[in-house]
Amino acid sequence: MATVIIPTPLRKFTENNARLETDETTVKSALRSLSEKYPDLRRHLFDDSGNIRSFLNIFVGEDDIRDRNQGDTPLDSNTVLSIVPAIAGG
């Protein structure tokens, strides 16, 4: 099973779990599955069009999925998938 690391600001939506396991095989299906398990998490992961929110950076191991195959980036049982919020402002 792949491991998903939940960032601190989203843990209130995952019953304070910092790490979750998933048997999904792509990034997008893993995040969808999480949203089904924790419905309040959904709007923080996906925009209105169902795409992964642009203000989130998703890493598979040390690779940003934008440098791999975006949401179709595959997961295997050893993968660590990190959700990293973009911290910025003005």
Partner 1 sequence: MDTRPVLTFQPDVYNRMLDDARKCFPDECCGFLFGEENGANRHFSEILIVDNAKEGDKRRRFSITSRDYMKAELMAAKLNLTLLGVYHSHPVHPAVPSEHDLNVAMPYFSYVIISVYGQDDISVRSWKLNDERQFEEELVS
The binding site for partner 1 (CB under 8 A) comprises: 5, 7-12, 44, 55, 57, 59, 64, 82, 84-90
The helix (H) or strand (E) run that includes residue 19 is strand 19-22
- What is the dihedral sign for C-alpha 89, 5, 20, 62? positive
Distance CA 39, CA 2 (A): 20
Query: Please, what is the minimum distance in Å from the beta carbon of residue 90 to partner 1?
Result: 4
CB burial class (10 A; 0-12, 13-18, 19+) of residue 82? middle
- C-beta closer to partner 1: residue 14 or 25: 14
Q: And the tokens for 8?
A: 């601190």
- C-beta closer to partner 1: residue 44 or 68: 44
Query: Please, what is the minimum distance in Å from the beta carbon of residue 77 to partner 1?
Result: 22
Query: Please, what is the minimum distance in Å from the beta carbon of residue 85 to partner 1?
Result: 5
- C-beta closer to partner 1: residue 38 or 59: 59
